[in-house]
Structure 1
């Protein structure tokens, strides 16, 4: 692909320094991390998580590089859209109400991207996002059912959408997010695409995700345990064909899901976007390469805020970003233990980095099942950025077309 000077510099930079959120084309903000977050939000439009006019109007009010400005502006549009939802619902316009509630949920959630959890508004905006999502779900067809999955001495929040209106058993995909996500994000990324293709859709926050750190549920290396609890829940649903359960993980979920697949054979197909076999190693490489890089990548206040939130999610002080190196040192697994078919998707931008490329290549080579596939999503296809968040249509096609084919190849009638 012919690139301009700015893109060429960013591509060169990403070969030197690991930054999964590296943006390769400017949409609105000079702050690369802020522009990435905006690009990710725009990717939710396809599945009802936003409207381009509302989002660009909001972005125009946000001060570049200022994480507080970001957190202040999104609730404003969320409130306006929520009011429209309430009016539409009161007047009996259920479809309009559903769409307004869904967008309001996405906007309230967007505010949390750069808001420290100790901020008094954090819980307020979280609860508003869930309230709007719940109302949208109740007005949806099929209904988006909010669920609580029993786990140890507590519950994990999520949602379940059944594929068929009848009571027939259907194939199912479990979607797990990354180090900064809420289960709602997975709905906006691929949920409706799953339903269109006849899959039940389940997405649940595991410890460390969503609001769970506020309940002292932090990220832990043994992700097969919380994901095992989600599988237990899936087995309890009469709509789920237990021979047709796939698991999909994005970003940090590229560790959480493959790790679970290595230990829990109820997962019949594993999709990573993209694979992370050793989170501590990647964290270490990020630190080392940042120090070695000729110019380095200076972290903006917005980027620092995101790392502070990640520290909170791992159970360490928000000002102890270096502590993430030690905290994630045990997050590793052996991919040769994964015996089910595997699809691994990696964005072009990430695959350019030698350390990430080496991890992806080693992951694929270590998988024992010959029914495995690696896809590098290209810049020219509009899918070159982290987890293809900017092109959920392409992502859905890659995931579900492969999944349909692999289930057939395994002799399963779908």
Structure 2
């Protein structure tokens, strides 16, 4: 998984949120062994160095440099705490997470001093349950500084992502004239690390309240709301969209409609938790892998975690999904393999299962480093779907009076 995590920083470099030289130099300092302390120290030192450069540039009035450095520092802070997520009270985790958010916010404050037309707004979305009220943290990115109604992508985070790290995934949509709402929680980002509110399997409760807020925001075309679920959101999004009439299209990469199905059946299932518990005692890496996931669900043992996963299923609700759907199943994705099951369970007429050829560059988790190619295929399909919805050619999707220009 360290290769996958380092790959996330390489992908961030493609959108200016990292630098290849900084990334590879830091990786060489860390070395190839699993060493969470060294990982934290080296990425944290890199983050502090780049943040210092940002602050110096800011004071000197070099605002583009400051923007770029703050953005890179944010990615480095995210990497610094990645392997510390087993203990939500670890001060290093909490401090690095806060620095990740703060540096990203400063980068967004300086966007207007760059040539980019993108406007970024930090948002707090009210979320109420039977026993408490919290704010769902997110960032709303818009391709231009106006209130022309545009199609809007709702992009929940994955297991370990943040609303801030959604910046990279948002670029393909923004370049095509979409708004993007990158949103986290419960069980992610601030709702987890600050509020200690854990994942819930009934994500329809969450998505419906997000949409209640979103449809009141100027510049959002309520006829063209799209839900994109990547990584663990490949469960959250289809669960949330089932029975939700306001979503015009859905994209999952990879689809994970039945998390409990990943636990073996029969005697293998009965020994799975004891075996993983025993192996975790002799493997720090395995212990941290399960520990970070247990923390997201608010449980203390692997057995409890496996039981919790059995409630994260929506395959029996697939027929309630009423919108056009694309499912991406990339070769080599370690959490893939359920795309065909969801595809078969869908009853909508307009559905597509996209299994990219690895020779295109799309392979691994969520397509790995092939994000620009991924954007081309997915958003070209989405352009056509939304154009059909309002009865115009796809080429006119962003030039009509409703959509405004790209």
**TM-score normalised by the chain length of structure 1:** 0.84
C-alpha distance in 2, partners of 1:143/1:163? 6
Aligned to 2:374: 395
Residue 138 (str. 1) matches residue 109 (str. 2)? yes
CA 1:306–1:184: 2 relative to 1, 3 Å = farther
Aligned to 1:312: 295
User: How many residues get paired?
Assistant: 370
CA contact (8 A) 1:213 1:315 kept: no
Residue 212 (str. 1) matches residue 191 (str. 2)? yes
More RCO (CA 8 Å, sep 6+)? 1
CA 1:125–1:240: 2 relative to 1, 3 Å = same
Please point out which of 88, 101, 112 is paired with 2:81. 112
Aligned to 1:147: 123
What SS does structure 2 have at the residue aligned with 1:263? coil
* Structure 1 residues 345-364: aligned runs within 5 Å: 345-350=328-333, 357=337, 359-364=338-343
Aligned to 2:61: 92
* Structure 1 residues 13-412: aligned runs within 5 Å: 33-63=1-31, 64-116=33-85, 117-141=88-112, 142-152=118-128, 153-188=133-168, 190-214=169-193, 215-284=195-264, 288=268, 301-317=284-300, 320-333=301-314, 334-350=317-333, 357=337, 359-412=338-391
What SS does structure 2 have at the residue aligned with 1:43? helix
CA 1:56–1:135: 2 relative to 1, 3 Å = same
What SS does structure 2 have at the residue aligned with 1:322? helix
CA shift for structure 1 position 96: 1.1
CA shift for structure 1 position 97: 0.9
What SS does structure 2 have at the residue aligned with 1:268? strand
C-alpha distance in 2, partners of 1:67/1:311? 18
RMSD between aligned alpha carbons? 2.2
C-alpha distance in 1, partners of 2:134/2:52? 34
CA shift for structure 1 position 113: 1.3
What SS does structure 1 have at the residue aligned with 2:14? helix
C-alpha distance in 1, partners of 2:304/2:247? 33
CA 1:284–1:324: 2 relative to 1, 3 Å = farther
C-alpha distance in 1, partners of 2:22/2:340? 41
C-alpha distance in 2, partners of 1:301/1:394? 36
CA 1:52–1:108: 2 relative to 1, 3 Å = same
Unaligned runs of 5+ in 2: 113-117, 398-406
C-alpha distance in 2, partners of 1:307/1:397? 35
Unaligned runs of 5+ in 1: 1-32
**TM-score normalised by the chain length of structure 2:** 0.86
C-alpha distance in 1, partners of 2:286/2:367? 20
CA contact (8 A) 2:363 2:370 kept: no
CA shift for structure 1 position 213: 2.2
What SS does structure 2 have at the residue aligned with 1:82? helix
C-alpha distance in 2, partners of 1:150/1:268? 23
CA shift for structure 1 position 397: 1.6
What SS does structure 1 have at the residue aligned with 2:165? helix
What SS does structure 2 have at the residue aligned with 1:211? helix
Please give the per-residue CA displacement for 1:251-279, whole angstroms capped at 9, x wherever unaligned: 11011001111121111100000111111
C-alpha distance in 1, partners of 2:291/2:125? 28
What SS does structure 1 have at the residue aligned with 2:182? strand
CA 1:274–1:207: 2 relative to 1, 3 Å = same
CA 1:55–1:289: 2 relative to 1, 3 Å = farther
